[in-house]
Amino acid sequence: MLEFLIRNRTIVCFIFFTLFCIIALSLQSTTFTMSIEGVGNMFILPFQFGYHKVQGGVHLLWAGFTELRSVRDELERTRKKLNQFETASEELSEIRRENDRLRAMLSMRPQVQFESIPARIISKDPDNWFRTIVIDRGTGDGIAVNMPVIGFNGENKAVVGKVIEVRRFVSRIQPIISGTMKLGVVFQESRYPGLLSGFTANSSLCLIDYISKSTVVKFGDLVVTSGQGGIFPAGLMVGKVAKTNLMDSNSFQRVLVQPIIDFDRIEEVYVIKKEPDKAMLELLGE
Amino acid sequence: MIFTYLITAGLIIASLVIQGHPSFDVLRIAGVKPDLLFIIVIYFGYSFGSFYGEVTGFVGGLLHDAISNSPIGFLAFSKMALGFVVGMFGRAVFKENILTVLLLLFIASLAKGVLSLFLAFVFHQAAVSDILSIIIPEAFYNAILAPPLFFLLDRLFEHELSREGY
């Protein structure tokens, strides 16, 4: 028997591997597949961290030689901006006090400010079929599933995605350009609501479908989060309208949105410590 | 032999780490990046036969699944199956030259893409448009990168290849 198995090891292994894959695919999200992912991550993670550190070190060393002049210019610009912001900060605190006073007069709920955790991107999905991002913060840093993630492009703060998986030292983020992501948004100017998702698997654009044809959507219109859905706070920037598709055969129009965040270049993100609205998620789940 | 296994393990890990690193996104063309691990799996199937190809494809694919958002078995199955099939023909049938390697990787990548699309239809979610947006661009990309990678791997496994009689 053993001799037969060894002689035909190629076919035997092929059948075993095929059965293993089919069973694993049928048992998605069970303890069995989660354990395999855990072991795999444990095996690859030190190499990912190591490579990230080495690459960062080489980049820093190179930058030390080449970027001195640009750093000096940047410092000048930053000093000027700091002066402007210090003046603006004074005005802002005055406006905030006035806003609080008016909200109190209108008996509106005060807006909650959320704490955020800075994180570095250590890896992106190595395959073309999936678009996820791995960051160097996990349960130990207080991160939980469904927490919103934001980032900066220049001075613009915008939505990156949401946390979909958390382990001890790392977390996985589903970006808004992913096809399986669904995000409630509104057009900032017209206040018309929509549901945003990724456009295609390899595109860096987002799509808002089922917008009424009567809605006027202009090129460059800003799209912000609606706050519905229980995960993202309202009013966070998402992107700008890049194209609208109006077809006679369809009673709706499709809007393509260029995200504010450049997903090919982003290196740092901030996880907002906001617990998802469980009642809302359960309702949506049903 | 242990040296060959160690080098293989090192190549699998290095390809996954490089493919997953944020800076690798700079290499995206038409929104896709090449699958270095798949090129390596095909090399092993092509050079050392079905058994080595399928084992490398399965182990590498399983690690690929573990660090990707894909369900376990999704990437492992297509890599394992193609490592097995390519190993059935291998160097003995197709003599190595740039055109053979280009065509081999292009056809193998297309087959891998179609297999993944089928699995995605059954177990996950997929659209036929993925053929145009992912499968074909990735097949071109893999095919272009294959000849230089095969050349480097030939130098790395010179002793093993001469032992096999190539």
Q: Supply the pLDDT for residue B132.
A: 75
Nearest CA in chain B to A132: B69
Mean pLDDT of A197-207: 83
pLDDT per residue as tens digits for the range A27-73: 775 566 666 667 666 666 777 777 667 766 766 777 666 677 778 88
Q: Supply the pLDDT for residue B63.
A: 86
* pLDDT value at B12 more than 60: yes
pLDDT per residue as tens digits for the range B87-140: 988 776 777 788 989 999 999 999 999 998 888 888 766 666 777 778 899 999
Confirm or reject contact between B16 and chain A (CB < 8 A). yes
Return the number of CB contacts < 8 Å for A and B. Answer: 163
* pLDDT value at B147 more than 60: yes
> Mutation test of the interface with chain A: which of B16, B54, B68, choosing the one with the most A Cβ atoms within 10 A?
B68
CB contact under 8 A, B22 and A204: no
Q: Checking DSSP bridges between strand A222-225 and strand A206-212, what pairing results, if any?
A: unpaired
> Mutation test of the interface with chain A: which of B12, B52, B69, B110, choosing the one with the most A Cβ atoms within 10 A?
B69
**Separation of alpha carbons B141 and A238, rounded Å:** 31
CA distances from A188 to A15, A205, A224 (A): 56, 18, 6
Q: Which residue has the higher pLDDT, A2 or B87?
A: B87
Name the residue facing B133 among A48, A52, A200 (closest C-beta).
A200
* pLDDT value at A217 more than 90: no
Across-strand partners of A201? none
Residue A125 DSSP class = -
How many C-beta neighbours within 10 Å does residue B25 have?
A: 14
Q: Dihedral, CA atoms, A15, A21, A24, A28, nearest 10 degrees?
A: -150
Burial zone of B146 (CB within 10 Å; 0-12 exposed, 13-18 middle, 19+ buried): buried
Identity of the amino acid at A200: T
**Least confident piece of the model among A50-59, A169-178, A189-198, B69-78:** A50-59
Tokens of B52: 């080595």
* pLDDT value at A110 more than 60: no
CA distances from A168 to A36, A276, B63 (A): 16, 20, 19
DSSP alpha helices (H): ranges in B21-157?
Answer: 36-48, 50-67, 74-93, 98-123, 130, 136-156
**Separation of alpha carbons A14 and A118, rounded Å:** 45
Q: Supply the pLDDT for residue A63.
A: 67
> How far is the alpha carbon of A162 from chain B, nearest alpha carbon, in Å?
14
* pLDDT value at A111 more than 80: no
Q: Supply the pLDDT for residue B76.
A: 92
* pLDDT value at A112 more than 60: no
Does CATH place domain B2-20+32-161 in 3.40.190.10? no
pLDDT per residue as tens digits for the range B60-72: 998 888 888 788 8
pTM: 0.77
Specify whether the CB–CB gap between A217 and A241 falls below 8 A.
yes
Residue B131 DSSP class = I
Residues of A with CB below 8 A from B81's CB?
18
Residue A137 exposure: Cα atoms within 13 Å on the Cβ side: 21
Mean pLDDT of A139-165: 88
How many C-beta neighbours within 10 Å does residue A15 have?
A: 11
Tokens of A68: 């001195």
Tokens of B92: 């003995």
Nearest CA in chain A to B36: A126
Q: Which residue has the higher pLDDT, A55 or A154?
A: A154
DSSP A43-61: HHHHHHHHHHHHHHHHHHH
Portion 106-125 of B in contact with A at CB < 8 A: 116, 119-120, 122-123, 125
Query: Within its chain, how far is the Cα of B25 from the centroid?
Result: 18
Specify whether the CB–CB gap between A133 and A175 falls below 8 A.
yes
Mean pLDDT of A113-131: 83
DSSP alpha helices (H): ranges in A141-243?
Answer: none
**Separation of alpha carbons A88 and A59, rounded Å:** 35
Give residues with Cβ within 8 angstroms of A115, minimum separation 6: A272, A273
- What integer best gives the mean pLDDT of chain B? 86
The pair phi, psi for residue A187, each rounded to 5°, is -75, 125
Q: Which residue has the higher pLDDT, B93 or A149?
A: A149
Nearest CA in chain A to B20: A126
